[in-house]
Amino acid sequence: CTMLCDFMERCFSLHLQLPPYFLLLHCDSKEHCLSHRRTDVLMMTPWFAPIVWEGTYNSEILNEEFRQRNVTVGLTVFAIKKYVVFLQKFLETAEMYFMVGHRVNYYVFTDRPEEVPKVALKDGRNVVVLKVQNYSRWQEISMRRMEMISYFSQKQFINEVNYLVSVDVDMRFNDEVGVEILSNLFGTLHPGFYASRRQSFTYERRSASQACVPRDEGDFYYAGGFFGGTVKEVYKLTKKCHEAIMLDKAKGIEAIWQEESHLNKYFVYHKPTKILSPEYLWDDNIGRPQILKKRRFLAVPKNHAAIRNK
């Protein structure tokens, strides 16, 4: 206990100088429940939330735990306008790697329900198409995700699933993404900032915006393309972010990175109970550092200009 406290005290004191990974204590065997297998990264936050990397958990133990709990996971994805073209690969790879062996509802938000592809699904897994409005600007479409997830969480999801995971559609699953990610509230370290200091984070800094984070606040920079938790916690997050977006909109303000800015503001003052490493949201265009043992969810190469606002 004394050694652990000393270690955490050093983590606290060095927090701003260290890359944002913190030690995860885990049980990879009954005999060595306080051991850890990764020595190249630190994996626990100052508020004792684990950061999930390959080699920090036992998937067999976790899968059995969640099977006993009879858990169903909802995966929300937005395929608006031409982004519907990414659905085929997204769903096919999700069937290969996402929550294998567990029940899943794929909630597909789209303005083109007739273009949602038919993909072979395993038992206990369903595609649920939710028709929504599109908007002229891709930034508006992006921000409206918070509104839609909030609305359907209260109206529908709360009665159908235990956990919600929200991800971007222009991606493909490349390796296992399982129940190790599940927690009351989780976010994902942004691949462009996971090793950066606070001063480099692209938070919204304008005090007039509801997304503003003061320069002496903030722990990590989270990606808007992968977050989740229990339906109750995701509802609270998305409702708060949507309300903040609407307050900004009434003043003619749009946060620098739209809903991602509001998500980061929320996580500053409502700490995630688990954080996912950039294994869970990666882009091969930025290389592949040695600490990245897995690339679980990968950006699909695309021409943004040809896809957005079409």
So which residues are the catalytic ones? 260
Query: Are the CB atoms for 309 and 137 separated by under 8 Å?
Result: yes
Residue 190 in marked binding region:
yes
Those residues with Cβ within 8 angstroms of residue 198's Cβ, 6 or more apart along the chain or in another chain: 16, 218, 219
Q: Return the structure tokens found at 260.
A: 């991602």
Q: Is 119 annotated as a binding residue?
A: no
Please state, in angstroms and rounded to a whole number, the distance separating the CA atoms of residues 173 and 129: 20
Q: Does 169 show up as a binding residue in the annotation?
A: yes
- Is 83 annotated as contributing to ligand binding? yes
Q: Which two tokens stand for residue 173?
A: 């699953």
Amino acid (one-letter) located at 170:
D
User: How far apart (Å, rounded) are the C-alpha atoms in residues 201 and 4?
Assistant: 29
Tell me whether residue 111 is annotated as binding: no
d(CA 195, CA 175): 22
Tell me how far CA of residue 184 lies from CA of 133, 227, 299, in angstroms: 30, 11, 26
| 79 in a labelled binding site | yes
The type of residue at 109 is: F
Between helices 258-269 and 138-155, what is the axis angle to 10°? 50
**80 marked among binding-site residues:** yes
Q: Show binding-site residues for UDP-N-acetyl-alpha-D-galactosamine.
A: 78-80, 83, 168-170
Q: Show binding-site residues for Mn(2+).
A: 168, 170
Q: Show binding-site residues.
A: 78-80, 83, 168-170, 190, 202, 260, 283
